[in-house]
Amino acid sequence: MKVKVGDRDWRRAFTLIELMLTMALIALLSSLFIWNINALLKQGELEALQNELWGVVEKAKQAAVFSRQPHKVRFDEKLKSFMVSSGEEEIAYQVDTSGFGEEVEIEVFFKMILPKDGYRLVRGELVTYREIESVTFFPDGTCTPFSVDLKIGEYKSGYQIDPWTGSQLTAPEEDS
């Protein structure tokens, strides 16, 4: 579009600075979008691992009750599977990593909740947990008091388990 001002012809167009600002804004928005998609995918991976854990916990609890033998649950990092053993046999429940990114590092830490007289102060921090190799489910439907920390890459999640029911404890509600 031409505009006539005085005896000169001026063309209207975007200036270079406007074009550069627009490109920078598009780049910023696209990088935020890509970052959020990556975070959502990682949360999906963590949720899949959590679902696998709850499935294995339920299977171990039922197997202990029906067979009337204690069953132990542990995580094998090399095989990326939860191992359920009854003393006679050991069954591996493979974590489905097909939807995970390549070279995903999966870590599962079982921690025993210490009794109040077993707390220790280490380097100025109160230690209320002790890392354990496996968790035992008993024939009466109970289990060792434990918490579990799930870690996929840099994303972590932790849960405390009720020893009487084997289900996840919820955080206490705060009074408003």
What pLDDT, in 10s, does the model give residues 81-91?
Answer: 888 888 888 88
**Amino acid code (one letter) for 15:** T
Asked if pLDDT for residue 151 goes beyond 70, the answer is: yes
Domain boundary assignment for the chain: 15-161
158 neighbors 148 (Cβ within 8 angstroms): yes
Check: CB of residue 77 under 8 Å from CB of residue 106: yes
Q: Using one digit for the tens of pLDDT, what is the confidence trace for 105-150?
A: 788 888 887 777 767 766 777 777 778 888 899 999 888 888 888 8
Work out whether the CA dihedral 53, 58, 59, 64 comes out positive or negative.
Answer: positive
Kindly indicate the confidence band of residue 23, based on its pLDDT and cuts at 50, 70 and 90: very high
CB 149 within 8 A of CB 53: no
Q: Which residues pair with 145 in a beta bridge?
A: none
Mean pLDDT, to the nearest integer, of 75-96? Answer: 83
- On average, the pLDDT of the chain sits at 78
Among all chains, which residue has been given the structure tokens 């405390």?
Answer: 160
* Dist. CA 82–CA 49, nearest whole Å: 10
- Torsion sign over Cα 23, 26, 29, 35: negative
pLDDT at 92 over 70: yes
Q: Which positions ≥6 away from 155 have C-beta within 8 Å?
A: 42, 43, 45, 46
**pLDDT tier at 5, thresholds 50, 70, 90:** low
Half-sphere exposure in the Cβ direction for 176 (13 Å, CA): 0
Report pLDDT for 173.
46
Tell me which fold the domain 15-161 belongs to.
minor pseudopilin epsh fold (3.55.40)
pTM of the model: 0.64
41 has pLDDT over 70: no
Give the lowest-confidence range in 23-32, 127-136, 161-170: 161-170
Which pLDDT belongs to residue 42? 60
Looking at residue 174, what is its pLDDT? 45
